């Protein structure tokens, strides 16, 4: 398996623009997580899905953030409108719900909002 | 508020010596703990875990110790090698409640000096 695949690897956008980050989880995994990494807070959980259903989105910072998982093999995290303080590395991870809770991470998307 | 804390942002150790990374948590419901390792420009990768029914788990050069009364865990690396230089994240979850999301600390950057 290729592991968790995220795209793009890097995104530079202007303030106010819409940004969409994409994630393909490991085949067979039924839990998917979106994390944001910052120096101050480390890895923050934004939202997670079990069997394509959002379970906990309490970590989503504002209404500008939204996430979807239309099927078991694809998820998106959208920021609209983007702001400079959204600049961070965003990670997607997947795991097998009901099994070990080791999550496998993608390589991340480095977002820069100027 | 951070439920998992790593109070040392960095640690330097001589090659061959022991590295000890520390982690504290506040949520007494956490019952499964993990350590992840992260290289630059890569996603975190799972290293070792421990269940709350144990106080020690060993895997090669890596040993994790859990002190539930102190809500403290540590990762020991013996002997340390230059390839161990990375950022180490401590994580915790409440497996018994069925939740499988992970709460991460802010990370400790380990540098192993040749």
Stretch B99-106: mean pLDDT, rounded?
84
Q: What's the pLDDT score for residue A96? A: 84
In this predicted model, what pLDDT tens digit does every residue of B42-84 receive, in sequence order? 999 999 999 999 999 999 999 999 999 999 999 999 999 999 9
Q: What's the pLDDT score for residue B89? A: 96
CA distance A106 to chain B (A): 5
Q: Hey, of B89, B95, B102, B107, which one would you mutate to test binding to chain A, going by the most A CBs within 10 A of its CB? A: B102
Are residues B43 and A97, on separate chains, in Cβ contact within 8 Å? no
CA distance A69 to chain B (A): 17
In this predicted model, what pLDDT tens digit does every residue of A90-105 receive, in sequence order? 999 999 876 556 889 9
Q: What's the pLDDT score for residue B35? A: 97
Kindly report the backbone phi and psi dihedral angles of residue A111, in degrees, each rounded to the nearest multiple of 5, phi listed first.
-105, 130
Listed in sequence order, the residues at least 6 apart from A95 whose beta carbon sits closer than 8 Å to its beta carbon are A29, A31, A33, A101, A102, A103, A104, B100
Are residues A100 and B49, on separate chains, in Cβ contact within 8 Å? yes
Ranges of chain A whose pLDDT falls below 70 = 1, 98-101
Percent pLDDT > 70 in chain B is 99
Structure tokens at B113: 């000096």
With a cut of 80, say whether residue B99 has pLDDT above it: no
Shortest CA distance from B42: residue in chain A:
A107
Q: What's the pLDDT score for residue A80? A: 96
Of B95 and A65, more confident: A65
Helix (H, G, I), strand (E, B) or coil at B88: strand
CA distance B56 to chain A (A): 18
CA distances from B105 to A30, A83, B36, B47, B66 (A): 24, 25, 10, 15, 16
Q: What's the pLDDT score for residue A101? A: 65
Q: What's the pLDDT score for residue A100? A: 57
Pick from B87, B65, B63, B64: nearest CA to B6 = B87
Q: What's the pLDDT score for residue B2? A: 83
């Amino acid at each position: 398996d290729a592991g968790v695949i995220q795209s793009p690897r890097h995104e530079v956008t202007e303030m106010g623009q819409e940004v969409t980050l994409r994630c393909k989880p490991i085949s067979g995994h039924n839990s998917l997580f979106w994390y944001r990494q910052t120096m101050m807070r480390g890895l923050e959980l934004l939202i997670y899905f079990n069997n394509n259903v959002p379970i906990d989105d309490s970590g989503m910072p504002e209404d500008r953030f939204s996430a979807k998982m239309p099927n078991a093999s694809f998820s998106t995290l959208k920021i609209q409108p983007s702001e400079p303080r959204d600049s961070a590395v965003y990670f997607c991870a997947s795991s097998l719900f009901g099994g070990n809770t080791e999550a496998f991470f993608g390589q991340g998307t480095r977002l820069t909002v100027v | 508020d951070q439920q998992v804390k790593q109070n040392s942002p960095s640690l330097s150790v001589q090659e061959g010596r022991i590295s000890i990374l520390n982690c504290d948590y506040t949520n007494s419901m956490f019952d499964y703990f993990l350590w992840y390792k992260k290289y630059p420009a890569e996603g975190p990768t799972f290293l070792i875990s421990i269940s709350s029914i144990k106080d020690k788990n060993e895997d090669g050069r890596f040993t994790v110790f859990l002190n539930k009364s102190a809500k403290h865990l540590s990762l020991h690396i013996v002997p340390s090698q230059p390839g161990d230089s990375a950022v180490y994240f401590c994580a915790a979850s409440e497996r018994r409640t069925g939740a499988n999301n992970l709460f991460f600390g802010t990370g400790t950057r380990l540098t192993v000096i040749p």
